[in-house]
Structure formats: structure tokens, C-alpha cells
Amino acid sequence: MSYQAEYIWIDGTKPTPIMRNKTKILKDGQEPPIWGFDGSSTNQAPGNSSDCVLRPVFTTPDPIRKGDNILVLCEVELPDFTPHPTNTRVACVETAERYASFEPLFGIEQEYTFMQNGRPLGWPDNGFPAPQGPYYCGVGGEKMVGREIVEAHTIACMEAGLSIEGTNAEVLMGQWEFQIGVLPAPAIGDQLWMARWLLNRIAEDYGVSVSLDPKPVAGDWNGAGAHTNFSTNAMRESYDAIIEGCEALGKNANEHIANYGAGIESRLTGAHETARYDTFSYGVSDRGASVRIPWAVEKAGKGYLEDRRPNANMDPYVVSRLMIETICSYSEK
Ligand code: ADP
Ligand code: MN
Ligand code: MN
Ligand code: MN
Ligand code: MN
């Protein structure tokens, strides 16, 4: 017999890459090999030299096709097997290896908005739904939309063996969140990208699309973020190390903001539970700070910090690499 391997990769669309996928039929017992694709159709190569290479890096059971079928997340390489310029995973792996003695761990809260006909799912064709308030962690017909997709996605993540931790409805009608963690880099990025792919693929069956737009509706409506929770072994033992991590992030704020997802200024306005993109602050329980120390962490005197700045459309390979670099290099000084 044979089975299906869904090859998945991150393309070169600017400013925010999207995911691509294609199917390879493999013989029973055959490992997924290196494969290729037409990079001229994904903003990854010119037409006269279009071949790009897919190198499998993370494989899971396929919860959609089930059986022996698999999902295969890939890195993109040039034909000479060097990393493609759009490949952000390689640098993440290098940084994770350099600072492995710090044992950095991540949990990411991925927010997203279901869309249909160019509007958030469930929104009226003209005008707006009832104002924000009842939707966050809400229950009840008419006001809650998309829950069947959320359920199917959660089960799919579990069946794929991903470390999904939970889900909740968000503040904007049609917006939801799932969390993945606690994981080291690059696994946090591999699993988040795989979970994003599953969400897009499952929503497709409902005629719905998934937007990671950081500000899907302008005005008095919440944006979509990807709070990134971080700890080192020292932070998991001491409060001082958490404060030092916050100080380190403050010293390198501009580089982080520039790499935390396109359109970050539209979301980090200082309103809607954000700190302005051009300021840096940290505080206990403060949802208006750039970086928050959860109250339970302060109480325990150890744990982790929450970087609230990353956009929903951020690249977790980039964000995890930067957080490790900034915090661990500061603590080495
Ligand atoms: P909130 O919505 O209150 O910000 P969530 O429950 O959505 O909190 O997310 C908390 C996140 O913190 C989870 O993704 C979890 O994995 C992460 N986390 C918990 N402990 C640690 C830790 N020691 N290091 C890194 N991340 C952690
Ligand atoms: Mn072809
Ligand atoms: Mn959350
Ligand atoms: Mn949230
Ligand atoms: Mn959060």
C-alpha cells in the first residue's frame, strides 16, 4: 500500500508570508524525502531559475486524512541546499543551540479572526455587531460564531500530537485564541506553524478563512496579537532573573518591534490592552504594559514573563530567536 504526505512550507509573500502545501504519495515504509516546488509562484524565485528545495523538519500524523497519512513541515532551501533567504528557522536553530544552557522555554497565545466575504465571521453585511463586551470567553447563540471550527481545530491539534494547551473566544466578535507550549525553540515555531496550517485547512471546509491581520477592523475594536511567554532556567527559579529579562527586553525594544509582525503600529496604539509601539514598559498584572509579569509569577517569586507585543502575524522562529538572543546575551554580561 501507499500513503499521503502533505508537504507544508512558508512562502515568500511580503510583508507577511503565507503557508503553502502539496501532496506526495509515498510507498509504505518510505520516509518523506527531500522534494521541490516552483518558487516563481510563491515569491521565492525568479521564473528563469525557479526550483526551490523542501527539506522535511517536523512530521506529525495527519488528523484530517487520518490512517497512516502524515503532515510534513519543511524548511525551504536553494538548489545547492543552502538556506533560502525566506528561511527564518535556520537562524532560530543556531541561536537555540548557542544558548541551550539557559534552557529557554516558550508558550504562545495565537489570536486570529475568522473571515467570510471580507468581513469577520458573523458580522452583518453593513454596519457593525453589538459593541465589544460579551464576546470574550462568551457563550450563547448568535453572539458566538465559529465555535465548531475551533472545536475541530483543537481535536486536530491533539490528534497530530501538538502541545495545544487551550482555547478561548476573544474580545472582537469572530476572534479566537489558542495556546501552544511550553516548548523550546525551534519546536515552538514548528508546532505553531503546524497549528496555523491546520486552522486554515479546517476552516476551508466551512467556507471560512483565517486572518492573522493585527488590526482586522479599524476603530474601537481589539487587534490580534500573539503574546509570547518566555522563561529561562534562572527565571523558573528566581524573580530577579525575570526582572533582568524585562530590563534586557527594554534595552533592545526597537529591534523587537521591527520584527514582531507587519503593521504593528496599527495594533500597539496604547488602547485595547496594548502599550504603544514606541514606548517600553513592564509591570505585574499590567495588560497595558509591553511586558507583563503574571500575578501568579510575582506571588510565587519565579516563573516567566509575557511579551505582549508580538502581532498575530509574527513569525515564531523570528520572535523566539530574538527573545533568546536579547535576554540570554544580556544575562551573560
Ligand atoms: P493569559 O491569557 O492570561 O495571558 P494564557 O493562559 O492564554 O494566559 O497563556 C499563558 C501562556 O504561558 C501559555 O502559553 C503557557 O504555555 C505559558 N507559560 C506558562 N509557564 C511558562 C514558562 N515557565 N515559560 C514559558 N511560558 C510559560
Ligand atoms: Mn507542476
Ligand atoms: Mn491568553
Ligand atoms: Mn488573548
Ligand atoms: Mn496573554
Q: What is the CATH number of the domain that holds 316?
A: 3.30.590.10
Assess whether the previous peptide bond of 15 is cis (omega < 30° from 0): yes
pLDDT digits (tens, 9 = 90+) for 247-275: 999 999 999 999 999 999 999 999 988 99
Residue in this structure with the C-alpha cell 496594548, named with its chain if needed: 274
Q: Domain check: are 207 and 273 in the same one?
A: yes
| Atom number, ligand 1, closest to the C-alpha of residue 303 | 23
Distance 47 CA to ligand 5 centre (A): 43
Q: Which residues contact 41 (CB under 8 A, 6 or more apart)?
A: 50
**CB-based contacts of 87: which residues, under 8 Å, 6+ apart?**
75, 76, 77
With a Cβ cut-off of 6 Å, ligand 1 is lined by 105-107, 109, 165, 179, 181-182, 227, 229-231, 236, 303-304, 306
How far apart (Å, rounded) are the C-alpha atoms in residues 293 and 297?
7
- Same domain assignment for residues 127 and 181: yes
Nearest one of 112, 51, 117, 114 to 84, comparing CA atoms: 51
**For ligand 1, atom 21: residue with the closest CA:** 304
Whether residues 48 and 191 fall in one domain: no
Grid cell listed for 233: 532556567
CA of 38 to the centre of ligand 2 (A): 8
Nearest CA to ligand 1 atom 16: 107
Query: Cα(30) to centroid of ligand 1, in Å?
Result: 38
Which residue numbers in the chain have pLDDT < 70? none
- Ligand 1 closest atom vs CA 177: 7
Task: Please report which ligand is nearest the Cα atom of 51.
Answer: 2
C-alpha–C-alpha distance, residues 54 and 79, integer Å? 10
Q: How far are the Cα atoms of 30, 173, 189, 199, 315 from residue 27, in angstroms, in the given order?
A: 5, 45, 29, 28, 34
Closest-approaching ligand to the CA atom of 234 = 1
How many Å lie between the centroid of ligand 2 and the Cα of residue 37? 8
| CB atoms inside a 10 Å sphere around CB 134 | 16
Verify that 106 and 80 share a domain, yes or no.
no
Pocket test for ligand 1, best of 157, 162, 182, 295 (most atoms within 8 A of CB): 182
86, 112, 143 - which closes a domain: 86
The grid coordinates listed for 112 are 486570529
Asked if 40 and 158 sit in the same domain, the reply is: no
In sequence order, what are the beta bridge partners of 67? Answer: none
Shared domain check, 299 and 226: yes
Cα 296 to ligand 3 centre (Å): 14
Last residue of a domain, one of 86, 104, 127: 86
Q: How far is CA 222 from CA 127, 148, 217, 316, in A?
A: 17, 22, 8, 21
Q: Is the ipTM of this complex over 0.90?
A: yes
CA 152–ligand 5 middle distance (angstroms) = 23
In whole angstroms, give the CA distance from residue 216 to residue 31: 41
279 with 132, same domain: the answer is: yes
Ligand 1 pocket test target in 154, 233, 304 with most atoms within 8 Å of CB: 304
For ligand 4, the distance from its centroid to the CA atom of residue 309, given in whole angstroms, is 12
Give the other-Cβ count within 10 Å of 3's Cβ: 18
Q: Please tell me the number of the ligand nearest to residue 136's CA.
A: 4
- Find the 306 Cα to ligand 5 centroid distance in Å: 7
pLDDT for position 47: 84
C-alpha cell at 182: 511550553
User: What's the structural domain count of the chain?
Assistant: 2
Give the per-residue pLDDT at 331: 86
Residues 71 and 208 in one domain: no
Q: What are phi and psi of 107, to 5 degrees?
A: -135, 130
CATH of the domain at 54: 3.10.20.70
List CB contacts of 221: < 8 A, sequence separation 6 or more: 132, 172, 272
Beta strands in the chain (DSSP E): 2-10, 19-27, 35-38, 51-61, 70-77, 105-116, 119-120, 164-169, 175-183, 209-211, 228-231, 282-284, 291-293, 305-307
pLDDT at 49: 84
Ligand 1 nearest atom to the CA of residue 108, by list position: 14
Do residue 58 and residue 113 come from a single domain? Answer: no
Rounded to two decimals, the pTM is 0.98
Query: Are 144 and 64 contained in the same domain?
Result: no
Q: Which of 242, 213, 208 is nearest to 226 (CA)?
A: 213
Cell 479572526 belongs to residue: 113
CA of 107 to the centre of ligand 1 (A): 5
Give the Cα separation of 224 and 159 in Å (integer).
26
What pLDDT does 1 receive?
87
Q: Which of 68, 86, 104 is the last residue of a domain?
A: 86
Sequence-distant (6+) residues with CB within 8 A of 59 are 32, 70, 71, 72, 73
Based on the fold, state whether residues 33 and 179 are members of the same structural domain.
no
Which residue out of 176, 229, 239, 284 has the highest number of ligand 1 atoms within 8 Å of its CB and is therefore the one to mutate? 229
For residues 238 and 167, state if they share a domain. Answer: yes
Dihedral (C-alpha) 327, 99, 313, 199: value to the nearest 10 degrees?
-130
Domain residues for 60? Answer: 3-86
